[in-house]
Structure 1
């Protein structure tokens, strides 16, 4: 795993960029006089191109080597991170976050492709579990550290440090010089049709979309829910509510063993989605301790499903690995885009319990999708 360590570090920094602003939402909301849904658009603005870009950038991803794209995206992310700090207008912030969203799918698709190449067919499950673990750590510590800076210093300093780390990371060797710029990963729409329908990946992608719809909604509006239950909650306190990510690290790294214990990928995915739904329902209880506990179960189930699904699509990708990873990210972040907006509108107008009802409906759709995968011999 040492040879993919630079790739995993790049993923961690990418998720710092994506999620570090979330604990700051109450601060930004007050400073810019925004509603909860308006503030949530700072996540939506980044996820929208994350949903659109993997496929619309297909020719770019095919024309240049993933190593080069990874380095360029890291440097440009550093520039936009500084811009986020300096911007004092909400519209400008949205534009900057949108630009970051254009860069992140290029970075993440390149990382996923290089990681799966480095691992080889025999170690894809472990390598992709390590990748998912890196994204978990990035999501957790990005939020936690930004909350610490907000409480004990100035949140802006964190983003300055992050921009420097991104530039430094762009200088690291990624160990993939043996590959030509584009060998076999050209993206064609007919290939997408084959992957979605003939190879049965469409059901996997639909389930993944529902998975991240729920997760994005919960993580985006969690700071406001914490504020409802504890009006004195600090930035650090809100950041610590994301500690459930730690169980996600465990389930991600243990996904192969858990799959074996669960009776195979199909059965484990079913179990994972059921546990996911139970954790969602638990968050309806008006108790901050129960909310904190339920988020551990919630994150553990989410990243178990995510790890198994991400590894499996790479095992069936064959020569179309970059296309499959682009499709995976497209559907994954489509769920994120919708989840960062639609449930928030329900939350604003009807309250948390109706918000939870929407998430449970999405979980049911994902569970049904998973149940159909067995027909495609998902084992």
Structure 2
């Protein structure tokens, strides 16, 4: 009897220790005031995945927060599954890769499969992150509610967004790490002569068009993918709310097979490219405590290595302290999981640069 009681007590102790060494992943819905009544008809009710570190439920401790922005045509649950986020964060904390932190992954997916984390006449997606989401997280969870205890990161479109939002909002985030940041500037596969613009121009001219999204993604191929990217960028950078099915002023349109370039629209796009934003945000960039970006040598998207390096060189030319790294990998094979860059590079980078006083 005494032996059984001892074994039971030992089992309960092990169970208690195991439960305390595990974090928790939850998914909640929030109301984004910045997205209410937007002309694009996007829902203001947004889902948010949140990782809470071991011991969160039993302590009164406040924690730093890492915000992760997902890429084009993905969502928060794609990231948490791909990264094995709960197990990975539990292991990273146990191994000392990072102190206990909260990780927040908002769903910024849209009808056009990407918000590009930008404010426009048809939806304030930057404000959703920097105002609505940050305020909601600080109210819902025991955070350390200051810029010095907030970091932002993201992959691809999210890498672009993390650089953009960090340089615009040093009063909200103190650190940024961009993973394979996409469309920082024109180059290679990302250019004004891409056939996707011709396809979109024809779709827009189709008076019978009722559902632009379905038309864009009618075929599952690279042409459809680039058409979707350009459509989403147009919604973010050069929208036209008066158009119902496809509310975009394209930077390139076509009359038959002849391209017509629209300089004022092209400038609107370039004003939103992080590469061209640097000059306008030098003071803000200098306020950031830590900046890093990286990219794979064998990128699937040819523009990323070239434009990421150019972005880094421009920061260097202006004397903006930062880190930049090329590694052997492609667009996604070295990002998630225990061998991925988030685990091996992003978390240690933030850990080295967090405020030491908690």
Task: Name the TM-score, length of structure 2 as normaliser.
Answer: 0.27
The structure richer in strand per residue is 2
The structure richer in helix per residue is 1
Which of structures 1 and 2 has the larger relative contact order (alpha carbons within 8 angstroms, sep 6+)? 1
Task: Name the TM-score, length of structure 1 as normaliser.
Answer: 0.26
